[in-house]
Structure 1
Amino acid sequence: MPVPSTTPDWAFEREHWRRGHFRVAGVDEAGRGAWAGPVTVAAVILPGTAQDYPFRDSKQLSAAQREDYAAEVRRVALSWAVEHAWPDEIDRLNILGATHAAALRAIARLDPPPQALVTDYLRLRTPLPLSAPPKADALSYSVAAASLLAKTGRDQLMAELDAQYPGYGFAAHKGYGAPAHRAALAQLGVSGTHRRSYAPIARLLSGETGPLRLL
Protein backbone atom coordinates (compact mmCIF):
# COMPACT_ATOMS: atom_id res chain seq x y z
CA MET A 1 0.00 0.00 0.00
CA PRO A 2 1.30 3.51 -0.78
CA VAL A 3 2.83 5.43 2.10
CA PRO A 4 0.50 8.32 3.07
CA SER A 5 1.74 11.82 2.25
CA THR A 6 0.70 15.21 3.61
CA THR A 7 -0.67 16.32 0.24
CA PRO A 8 -2.47 14.32 -2.46
CA ASP A 9 -0.49 12.42 -5.05
CA TRP A 10 -1.01 9.62 -7.58
CA ALA A 11 0.19 6.67 -5.48
CA PHE A 12 -3.14 4.84 -5.30
CA GLU A 13 -3.93 5.56 -8.94
CA ARG A 14 -0.51 4.26 -10.00
CA GLU A 15 -1.25 0.92 -8.38
CA HIS A 16 -4.18 0.56 -10.77
CA TRP A 17 -2.29 1.99 -13.77
CA ARG A 18 0.36 -0.73 -13.34
CA ARG A 19 -2.40 -3.30 -13.81
CA GLY A 20 -3.61 -1.66 -17.01
CA HIS A 21 -6.55 0.20 -15.43
CA PHE A 22 -5.94 3.73 -16.66
CA ARG A 23 -9.36 5.29 -16.05
CA VAL A 24 -9.42 5.47 -12.26
CA ALA A 25 -12.37 7.21 -10.62
CA GLY A 26 -12.02 8.94 -7.28
CA VAL A 27 -15.16 8.81 -5.14
CA ASP A 28 -16.01 10.87 -2.05
CA GLU A 29 -19.04 12.05 -0.11
CA ALA A 30 -20.20 15.08 1.83
CA GLY A 31 -22.86 15.36 4.50
CA ARG A 32 -22.92 11.94 6.14
CA GLY A 33 -22.99 13.42 9.64
CA ALA A 34 -25.56 16.15 8.96
CA TRP A 35 -29.02 16.01 10.53
CA ALA A 36 -30.76 17.45 7.46
CA GLY A 37 -30.47 17.50 3.70
CA PRO A 38 -28.88 14.92 1.41
CA VAL A 39 -25.66 13.02 1.54
CA THR A 40 -23.88 13.89 -1.69
CA VAL A 41 -21.40 11.68 -3.55
CA ALA A 42 -19.16 12.66 -6.45
CA ALA A 43 -17.11 10.48 -8.79
CA VAL A 44 -14.30 11.94 -10.91
CA ILE A 45 -11.89 10.50 -13.48
CA LEU A 46 -8.88 12.75 -13.98
CA PRO A 47 -6.54 12.39 -16.97
CA GLY A 48 -3.87 9.81 -16.19
CA THR A 49 -0.99 12.16 -16.88
CA ALA A 50 0.43 12.17 -13.34
CA GLN A 51 0.63 15.96 -13.38
CA ASP A 52 0.28 17.86 -10.12
CA TYR A 53 -2.98 19.63 -9.36
CA PRO A 54 -3.81 22.20 -6.68
CA PHE A 55 -6.70 20.00 -5.49
CA ARG A 56 -6.85 19.26 -1.78
CA ASP A 57 -9.33 17.71 0.61
CA SER A 58 -12.23 20.16 0.55
CA LYS A 59 -12.14 20.47 4.36
CA GLN A 60 -8.70 22.11 4.09
CA LEU A 61 -9.92 24.92 1.83
CA SER A 62 -11.98 28.08 2.10
CA ALA A 63 -15.38 28.24 0.42
CA ALA A 64 -13.97 30.45 -2.35
CA GLN A 65 -11.06 28.07 -2.95
CA ARG A 66 -13.44 25.12 -3.09
CA GLU A 67 -15.56 26.80 -5.75
CA ASP A 68 -12.52 27.74 -7.84
CA TYR A 69 -10.99 24.27 -7.63
CA ALA A 70 -14.33 22.56 -8.29
CA ALA A 71 -14.63 24.55 -11.51
CA GLU A 72 -11.13 23.39 -12.45
CA VAL A 73 -12.06 19.77 -11.70
CA ARG A 74 -15.04 20.02 -14.05
CA ARG A 75 -12.81 21.58 -16.71
CA VAL A 76 -10.01 18.99 -16.69
CA ALA A 77 -11.85 15.77 -15.77
CA LEU A 78 -12.37 13.05 -18.34
CA SER A 79 -15.75 12.52 -16.71
CA TRP A 80 -17.49 13.43 -13.48
CA ALA A 81 -20.87 12.93 -11.84
CA VAL A 82 -22.62 14.00 -8.64
CA GLU A 83 -25.49 12.13 -6.99
CA HIS A 84 -27.56 12.75 -3.87
CA ALA A 85 -29.32 10.49 -1.39
CA TRP A 86 -32.14 12.45 0.23
CA PRO A 87 -33.48 11.95 3.77
CA ASP A 88 -36.20 9.49 2.72
CA GLU A 89 -33.56 7.20 1.20
CA ILE A 90 -31.26 7.70 4.19
CA ASP A 91 -34.08 6.81 6.59
CA ARG A 92 -34.98 3.75 4.53
CA LEU A 93 -31.49 2.35 3.92
CA ASN A 94 -29.49 3.95 6.79
CA ILE A 95 -26.73 6.44 6.09
CA LEU A 96 -24.13 3.90 4.99
CA GLY A 97 -26.51 2.14 2.62
CA ALA A 98 -27.72 5.43 1.15
CA THR A 99 -24.15 6.68 0.69
CA HIS A 100 -23.19 3.49 -1.12
CA ALA A 101 -26.30 3.69 -3.32
CA ALA A 102 -25.54 7.28 -4.31
CA ALA A 103 -21.90 6.37 -4.98
CA LEU A 104 -22.88 3.54 -7.31
CA ARG A 105 -25.28 5.85 -9.16
CA ALA A 106 -22.53 8.43 -9.63
CA ILE A 107 -20.07 5.80 -10.87
CA ALA A 108 -22.66 4.43 -13.31
CA ARG A 109 -23.06 7.89 -14.87
CA LEU A 110 -19.36 8.30 -15.71
CA ASP A 111 -18.68 8.40 -19.45
CA PRO A 112 -16.17 7.09 -20.30
CA PRO A 113 -16.65 4.54 -17.52
CA PRO A 114 -13.98 3.82 -14.92
CA GLN A 115 -11.76 0.75 -14.93
CA ALA A 116 -10.91 1.03 -11.22
CA LEU A 117 -11.91 3.04 -8.16
CA VAL A 118 -10.27 4.87 -5.27
CA THR A 119 -12.66 5.85 -2.48
CA ASP A 120 -12.41 7.50 0.90
CA TYR A 121 -12.94 4.29 2.89
CA LEU A 122 -16.16 3.42 1.04
CA ARG A 123 -16.00 -0.34 0.59
CA LEU A 124 -18.44 -0.50 -2.28
CA ARG A 125 -19.88 -3.71 -3.67
CA THR A 126 -18.58 -3.46 -7.22
CA PRO A 127 -16.82 -5.72 -9.72
CA LEU A 128 -14.29 -2.96 -10.38
CA PRO A 129 -10.85 -3.07 -8.72
CA LEU A 130 -11.17 -0.95 -5.59
CA SER A 131 -8.79 0.85 -3.24
CA ALA A 132 -10.55 2.23 -0.15
CA PRO A 133 -7.96 3.73 2.21
CA PRO A 134 -9.02 5.98 5.09
CA LYS A 135 -8.45 9.71 4.59
CA ALA A 136 -8.10 9.18 0.84
CA ASP A 137 -9.41 12.71 0.21
CA ALA A 138 -6.10 13.96 1.63
CA LEU A 139 -3.98 11.34 -0.17
CA SER A 140 -5.34 10.92 -3.71
CA TYR A 141 -5.78 13.60 -6.37
CA SER A 142 -8.80 11.77 -7.76
CA VAL A 143 -10.54 11.53 -4.39
CA ALA A 144 -9.63 15.13 -3.51
CA ALA A 145 -11.24 16.20 -6.80
CA ALA A 146 -14.36 14.21 -5.93
CA SER A 147 -14.46 15.76 -2.46
CA LEU A 148 -14.52 19.23 -4.03
CA LEU A 149 -17.50 18.41 -6.26
CA ALA A 150 -19.37 16.66 -3.45
CA LYS A 151 -18.86 19.50 -0.98
CA THR A 152 -19.67 22.37 -3.35
CA GLY A 153 -22.63 20.50 -4.82
CA ARG A 154 -24.10 19.81 -1.41
CA ASP A 155 -23.45 23.36 -0.17
CA GLN A 156 -25.44 24.71 -3.11
CA LEU A 157 -28.35 22.43 -2.27
CA MET A 158 -28.25 23.47 1.38
CA ALA A 159 -28.48 27.12 0.32
CA GLU A 160 -31.57 26.22 -1.71
CA LEU A 161 -33.04 24.35 1.27
CA ASP A 162 -32.37 27.43 3.42
CA ALA A 163 -34.75 29.37 1.18
CA GLN A 164 -37.28 26.53 1.14
CA TYR A 165 -37.21 26.10 4.93
CA PRO A 166 -36.51 29.58 6.36
CA GLY A 167 -35.41 29.92 9.94
CA TYR A 168 -33.27 26.79 10.23
CA GLY A 169 -30.04 28.38 8.98
CA PHE A 170 -29.17 25.58 6.56
CA ALA A 171 -27.00 27.87 4.42
CA ALA A 172 -24.75 28.54 7.42
CA HIS A 173 -24.42 25.20 9.23
CA LYS A 174 -25.25 22.94 6.24
CA GLY A 175 -27.59 20.80 8.32
CA TYR A 176 -25.03 19.73 10.92
CA GLY A 177 -25.82 19.76 14.63
CA ALA A 178 -24.60 23.29 15.35
CA PRO A 179 -26.05 25.23 18.32
CA ALA A 180 -28.05 27.46 15.96
CA HIS A 181 -29.54 24.38 14.31
CA ARG A 182 -30.50 22.85 17.65
CA ALA A 183 -32.11 26.14 18.70
CA ALA A 184 -34.09 26.32 15.45
CA LEU A 185 -35.31 22.75 15.89
CA ALA A 186 -36.47 23.53 19.42
CA GLN A 187 -38.40 26.54 18.14
CA LEU A 188 -39.65 25.36 14.73
CA GLY A 189 -39.74 21.60 15.02
CA VAL A 190 -38.67 19.06 12.41
CA SER A 191 -38.75 20.08 8.75
CA GLY A 192 -39.41 18.01 5.67
CA THR A 193 -35.70 17.72 4.95
CA HIS A 194 -34.57 16.38 8.33
CA ARG A 195 -33.34 12.81 8.68
CA ARG A 196 -35.97 11.26 10.91
CA SER A 197 -33.92 8.16 11.66
CA TYR A 198 -31.15 10.24 13.24
CA ALA A 199 -31.27 10.08 17.03
CA PRO A 200 -31.67 13.83 17.80
CA ILE A 201 -34.51 14.13 15.26
CA ALA A 202 -36.13 10.87 16.35
CA ARG A 203 -36.14 12.09 19.96
CA LEU A 204 -37.89 15.30 18.95
CA LEU A 205 -40.50 13.40 16.97
CA SER A 206 -41.12 11.03 19.86
CA GLY A 207 -41.86 13.97 22.15
CA GLU A 208 -38.84 13.52 24.38
CA THR A 209 -37.84 16.63 26.27
CA GLY A 210 -34.41 17.88 27.21
CA PRO A 211 -31.56 19.45 25.25
CA LEU A 212 -30.66 18.07 21.85
CA ARG A 213 -27.35 16.26 21.87
CA LEU A 214 -24.86 15.77 19.09
CA LEU A 215 -24.75 12.36 17.42
Structure 2
Amino acid sequence: MTIKEIKELFKQGAVSAEQLELLKQDPRTGVQKLLASYYKKQEKLAKKRAEFEHRFAYERKFWAKDELVAGVDEVGRGPLAGPVVTAAVIIDENFDLIDVNDSKKLSPQRRLELYPEILAQAVSVGVGVQSAAVIDKINIYEADRVAMAQAVQALDRKPDCLLVDAMDVPIKIPQVKLIKGDAKSNSIAAASIVAKVFRDKLMDDYAKVYPQYDFPKNAGYGTKEHIAALKKYGPTPIHRKTFAPVSEFF
Protein backbone atom coordinates (compact mmCIF):
# COMPACT_ATOMS: atom_id res chain seq x y z
CA MET A 1 0.00 0.00 0.00
CA THR A 2 1.05 3.58 -0.58
CA ILE A 3 1.46 5.88 2.43
CA LYS A 4 -1.66 7.73 1.26
CA GLU A 5 -3.65 4.46 1.30
CA ILE A 6 -2.31 3.58 4.76
CA LYS A 7 -3.26 7.03 6.03
CA GLU A 8 -6.79 6.49 4.71
CA LEU A 9 -6.91 3.07 6.38
CA PHE A 10 -6.05 4.60 9.76
CA LYS A 11 -8.57 7.38 9.13
CA GLN A 12 -11.34 4.82 8.66
CA GLY A 13 -10.25 3.12 11.90
CA ALA A 14 -10.75 -0.39 10.55
CA VAL A 15 -7.23 -1.73 11.06
CA SER A 16 -6.85 -5.43 11.81
CA ALA A 17 -4.20 -6.95 14.07
CA GLU A 18 -2.69 -8.67 11.01
CA GLN A 19 -2.41 -5.35 9.15
CA LEU A 20 -0.74 -3.72 12.16
CA GLU A 21 1.85 -6.50 12.29
CA LEU A 22 2.64 -6.04 8.60
CA LEU A 23 2.94 -2.26 9.03
CA LYS A 24 5.36 -2.73 11.94
CA GLN A 25 7.71 -4.48 9.54
CA ASP A 26 7.41 -1.76 6.88
CA PRO A 27 10.78 0.06 6.69
CA ARG A 28 9.34 3.35 5.38
CA THR A 29 9.72 6.25 7.83
CA GLY A 30 6.34 7.68 6.83
CA VAL A 31 4.62 4.38 7.67
CA GLN A 32 6.29 4.19 11.08
CA LYS A 33 5.23 7.76 11.86
CA LEU A 34 1.63 6.91 10.95
CA LEU A 35 1.84 3.79 13.12
CA ALA A 36 3.19 5.75 16.09
CA SER A 37 0.43 8.32 15.69
CA TYR A 38 -2.18 5.55 15.53
CA TYR A 39 -0.95 3.90 18.75
CA LYS A 40 -0.85 7.26 20.52
CA LYS A 41 -4.45 7.97 19.57
CA GLN A 42 -5.51 4.47 20.66
CA GLU A 43 -3.78 4.98 24.02
CA LYS A 44 -5.52 8.33 24.47
CA LEU A 45 -8.88 6.79 23.56
CA ALA A 46 -8.35 3.91 26.00
CA LYS A 47 -7.56 6.39 28.79
CA LYS A 48 -10.68 8.43 27.99
CA ARG A 49 -12.77 5.25 27.99
CA ALA A 50 -11.33 4.15 31.36
CA GLU A 51 -12.04 7.58 32.91
CA PHE A 52 -15.58 7.48 31.50
CA GLU A 53 -16.19 4.03 33.00
CA HIS A 54 -14.81 5.24 36.34
CA ARG A 55 -17.39 8.06 36.36
CA PHE A 56 -20.13 5.42 36.54
CA ALA A 57 -19.02 4.36 40.04
CA TYR A 58 -21.84 6.13 41.90
CA GLU A 59 -24.54 5.19 39.38
CA ARG A 60 -23.59 1.51 39.44
CA LYS A 61 -24.34 1.31 43.17
CA PHE A 62 -27.97 2.13 42.38
CA TRP A 63 -28.19 0.15 39.15
CA ALA A 64 -27.08 -2.92 41.12
CA LYS A 65 -30.27 -2.49 43.17
CA ASP A 66 -32.33 -1.87 40.02
CA GLU A 67 -32.87 1.76 41.10
CA LEU A 68 -33.04 4.93 39.03
CA VAL A 69 -30.57 7.68 39.89
CA ALA A 70 -30.56 11.21 38.48
CA GLY A 71 -27.62 13.57 38.19
CA VAL A 72 -28.44 17.22 38.94
CA ASP A 73 -26.37 20.30 38.11
CA GLU A 74 -26.76 24.04 37.50
CA VAL A 75 -25.32 26.88 35.50
CA GLY A 76 -25.62 30.64 35.88
CA ARG A 77 -24.99 31.44 39.53
CA GLY A 78 -22.44 34.15 38.77
CA PRO A 79 -23.79 36.21 35.83
CA LEU A 80 -25.14 39.75 36.17
CA ALA A 81 -28.01 38.96 33.81
CA GLY A 82 -30.27 36.09 32.90
CA PRO A 83 -31.74 33.15 34.79
CA VAL A 84 -30.17 30.31 36.69
CA VAL A 85 -30.75 27.05 34.83
CA THR A 86 -30.61 23.51 36.19
CA ALA A 87 -30.92 20.06 34.66
CA ALA A 88 -31.66 16.59 35.99
CA VAL A 89 -30.60 13.63 33.86
CA ILE A 90 -31.25 9.91 34.33
CA ILE A 91 -29.01 7.58 32.33
CA ASP A 92 -28.56 3.82 32.36
CA GLU A 93 -25.77 1.34 31.65
CA ASN A 94 -26.32 1.70 27.88
CA PHE A 95 -25.15 5.33 27.94
CA ASP A 96 -21.95 5.42 25.89
CA LEU A 97 -21.09 9.07 25.11
CA ILE A 98 -17.48 8.93 26.33
CA ASP A 99 -16.91 12.64 25.64
CA VAL A 100 -19.48 13.55 28.30
CA ASN A 101 -17.60 15.30 31.08
CA ASP A 102 -17.74 18.49 33.12
CA SER A 103 -19.22 21.02 30.65
CA LYS A 104 -16.46 23.53 31.50
CA LYS A 105 -13.89 21.11 30.04
CA LEU A 106 -15.65 20.97 26.68
CA SER A 107 -15.67 23.45 23.82
CA PRO A 108 -18.95 25.22 23.02
CA GLN A 109 -19.10 23.29 19.74
CA ARG A 110 -18.64 19.91 21.45
CA ARG A 111 -21.35 20.76 24.00
CA LEU A 112 -23.73 21.60 21.16
CA GLU A 113 -22.93 18.29 19.47
CA LEU A 114 -23.41 16.28 22.67
CA TYR A 115 -26.66 17.99 23.70
CA PRO A 116 -29.02 16.16 21.27
CA GLU A 117 -27.10 12.91 21.78
CA ILE A 118 -27.63 13.13 25.55
CA LEU A 119 -31.35 13.80 25.02
CA ALA A 120 -31.53 10.77 22.72
CA GLN A 121 -29.69 8.36 25.03
CA ALA A 122 -30.95 9.50 28.44
CA VAL A 123 -33.78 7.68 30.18
CA SER A 124 -35.23 11.06 31.18
CA VAL A 125 -34.21 14.75 31.20
CA GLY A 126 -35.74 17.64 33.15
CA VAL A 127 -34.85 21.33 33.14
CA GLY A 128 -35.49 24.05 35.74
CA VAL A 129 -35.31 27.81 35.18
CA GLN A 130 -35.56 30.63 37.72
CA SER A 131 -35.55 34.24 36.54
CA ALA A 132 -33.50 37.23 37.62
CA ALA A 133 -36.60 38.54 39.44
CA VAL A 134 -36.78 35.36 41.55
CA ILE A 135 -33.02 35.51 42.20
CA ASP A 136 -33.41 39.09 43.45
CA LYS A 137 -36.34 38.09 45.65
CA ILE A 138 -34.98 34.97 47.39
CA ASN A 139 -31.19 35.16 46.60
CA ILE A 140 -29.20 33.11 44.10
CA TYR A 141 -28.57 30.14 46.38
CA GLU A 142 -32.25 29.59 47.12
CA ALA A 143 -33.23 30.24 43.50
CA ASP A 144 -30.69 27.61 42.49
CA ARG A 145 -32.23 25.08 44.90
CA VAL A 146 -35.76 25.84 43.66
CA ALA A 147 -34.61 25.41 40.05
CA MET A 148 -33.01 22.07 40.91
CA ALA A 149 -36.25 20.84 42.46
CA GLN A 150 -38.08 22.06 39.36
CA ALA A 151 -35.72 20.07 37.10
CA VAL A 152 -36.21 16.88 39.13
CA GLN A 153 -39.99 17.33 39.09
CA ALA A 154 -39.83 17.75 35.29
CA LEU A 155 -38.45 14.20 34.88
CA ASP A 156 -41.02 11.75 33.52
CA ARG A 157 -39.55 8.99 35.71
CA LYS A 158 -39.17 9.48 39.46
CA PRO A 159 -35.59 8.69 40.55
CA ASP A 160 -34.85 6.71 43.69
CA CYS A 161 -31.88 8.95 44.47
CA LEU A 162 -30.19 12.15 43.29
CA LEU A 163 -26.51 12.76 42.68
CA VAL A 164 -26.07 16.50 43.17
CA ASP A 165 -23.11 18.75 42.51
CA ALA A 166 -22.37 20.26 45.94
CA MET A 167 -25.98 21.26 46.70
CA ASP A 168 -29.04 19.93 48.49
CA VAL A 169 -32.33 19.90 46.61
CA PRO A 170 -35.52 20.81 48.53
CA ILE A 171 -37.34 17.66 47.50
CA LYS A 172 -38.13 14.43 49.37
CA ILE A 173 -35.78 12.11 47.51
CA PRO A 174 -32.56 10.66 49.00
CA GLN A 175 -29.49 12.57 47.82
CA VAL A 176 -25.74 12.16 47.53
CA LYS A 177 -23.86 15.47 47.56
CA LEU A 178 -20.64 15.37 45.51
CA ILE A 179 -18.03 18.14 45.48
CA LYS A 180 -17.05 18.76 41.83
CA GLY A 181 -19.62 16.11 40.98
CA ASP A 182 -19.58 16.90 37.26
CA ALA A 183 -16.06 15.44 37.14
CA LYS A 184 -17.05 12.37 39.21
CA SER A 185 -20.39 11.30 37.77
CA ASN A 186 -21.54 10.90 34.17
CA SER A 187 -25.11 11.69 35.24
CA ILE A 188 -24.06 15.03 36.72
CA ALA A 189 -21.74 15.72 33.77
CA ALA A 190 -24.62 15.12 31.34
CA ALA A 191 -26.81 17.46 33.43
CA SER A 192 -24.09 20.13 33.37
CA ILE A 193 -23.99 20.02 29.55
CA VAL A 194 -27.78 20.14 29.18
CA ALA A 195 -28.05 23.08 31.59
CA LYS A 196 -25.20 24.98 29.93
CA VAL A 197 -26.47 24.57 26.36
CA PHE A 198 -30.06 25.36 27.42
CA ARG A 199 -28.99 28.55 29.21
CA ASP A 200 -26.68 29.67 26.39
CA LYS A 201 -29.59 29.33 23.97
CA LEU A 202 -31.77 31.43 26.29
CA MET A 203 -29.10 34.13 26.41
CA ASP A 204 -28.80 34.05 22.61
CA ASP A 205 -32.55 34.66 22.43
CA TYR A 206 -32.33 37.51 24.95
CA ALA A 207 -29.59 39.03 22.77
CA LYS A 208 -32.17 39.53 20.02
CA VAL A 209 -34.16 41.74 22.39
CA TYR A 210 -31.16 43.40 24.06
CA PRO A 211 -28.38 43.37 21.42
CA GLN A 212 -26.23 46.04 23.14
CA TYR A 213 -24.97 43.67 25.86
CA ASP A 214 -23.35 41.00 23.63
CA PHE A 215 -24.97 38.12 25.56
CA PRO A 216 -23.92 35.45 23.00
CA LYS A 217 -20.27 36.15 23.97
CA ASN A 218 -20.59 36.77 27.71
CA ALA A 219 -23.72 34.73 28.64
CA GLY A 220 -24.61 37.50 31.08
CA TYR A 221 -21.30 37.42 32.97
CA GLY A 222 -19.66 40.71 33.94
CA THR A 223 -17.11 41.12 31.17
CA LYS A 224 -15.50 44.48 30.50
CA GLU A 225 -17.74 45.00 27.45
CA HIS A 226 -20.88 44.01 29.36
CA ILE A 227 -20.17 46.46 32.19
CA ALA A 228 -19.43 49.20 29.64
CA ALA A 229 -22.82 48.54 28.04
CA LEU A 230 -24.45 48.65 31.48
CA LYS A 231 -22.97 52.09 32.11
CA LYS A 232 -24.07 53.34 28.71
CA TYR A 233 -27.56 51.85 28.43
CA GLY A 234 -28.47 50.89 32.00
CA PRO A 235 -29.84 47.52 33.15
CA THR A 236 -32.55 45.50 31.40
CA PRO A 237 -35.42 43.57 33.03
CA ILE A 238 -33.27 40.43 32.94
CA HIS A 239 -30.40 42.00 34.92
CA ARG A 240 -30.06 40.97 38.55
CA LYS A 241 -30.75 44.07 40.64
CA THR A 242 -29.11 42.65 43.76
CA PHE A 243 -25.82 41.89 42.00
CA ALA A 244 -23.05 44.52 41.95
CA PRO A 245 -22.44 46.54 39.87
CA VAL A 246 -26.04 46.27 38.57
CA SER A 247 -27.26 47.32 42.03
CA GLU A 248 -25.53 50.67 41.59
CA PHE A 249 -28.12 51.62 38.96
CA PHE A 250 -31.07 51.37 41.38
Normalised by the shorter chain, which TM-score bucket?
0.7 to 0.9
Q: Is the 8 A contact 1:6 1:139 kept in 2?
A: no
What does residue 236 of structure 2 align with? Answer: 191
- How far, CA to CA, are the matches of 1:62 and 1:31 in structure 2? 17
Q: How does 1:13-52 map to 2 (within 5 A)?
A: 13-18=59-64, 20=65, 22-49=67-94
Deviation at 1:51, TM superposition (A): 5.2
Alignment-derived partner of residue 55 in structure 1 = 100
8 Å CA contact retained: 1:6, 1:138: no
Cα offset, 1:17, TM superposition: 3.6
> Distance in 1 between the 2:227 and 2:138 partners?
25
More displaced, 108-117 or 51-60? 51-60
Q: What do the CA deviations read for 1:64-86 (whole angstroms, capped 9, x no partner)?
A: 10011111110000100112111
Question: Counterpart in 1 of 2:112?
Answer: 67
Superposition deviation, residue 48 in structure 1? 3.6
150-159 vs 118-127, which moves further: 118-127
1:115-130 pair list within 5 angstroms:
115-130=160-175
How far apart are residue 22 of structure 1 and its match?
2.0
Alignment of 1:201 onto 2:241: no
In the alignment, is the contact (CA less than 8 A) between 2:89 and 2:191 conserved in 1?
A: yes
Alignment partners' CA distance in 1, 2:126 and 2:215: 24
Q: Which of structures 1 and 2 has the bigger CA Rg?
A: 2
Partner amino acid for 1:82? V
The Cα of 1:111 is off from its aligned counterpart by 1.2
Q: Structure 1 unaligned runs (5+)?
A: 206-215
Ranked by relative contact order (alpha carbons within 8 Å, sequence separation 6 or more), the top structure is: 1
**Residue 135 of structure 1: how far off its partner (Å):** 0.6
Q: Contact 1:12–1:131 at 8 Å: present in 2 too?
A: no
Higher helix share: 2
| SS of structure 2 residue aligned to 1:161 | helix
Residue correspondences, number? 200
Corresponding residue number in structure 2 for 1:10 = 56
TM-score normalised to structure 2 length: 0.76
Q: CA deviation at 1:15?
A: 3.3
Identity %: 38
Q: CA–CA distance in 2 between the matches of 1:87 and 1:175?
A: 11
Alignment root-mean-square deviation, CA: 1.7
- Residues 124, 156 of structure 2: 8 Å contact kept: yes
Distance in 1, Cα, partners of 2:105 & 2:214: 23
Q: Normalised by the size of structure 1, how large is the TM-score?
A: 0.87
Cα distance, 1:193 vs. partner?
0.6
Matches within 5 A, 1:75-114: 75-114=120-159
SS in 1 for 2:245: helix
- Structure-2 separation of matches of 1:16 and 1:127: 17
Q: Which runs of 5+ in 2 are unaligned?
A: 1-49
**CA–CA distance in 2 between the matches of 1:16 and 1:162?**
42
How many angstroms apart in 2 are the aligned matches of 1:192 and 1:116? 37
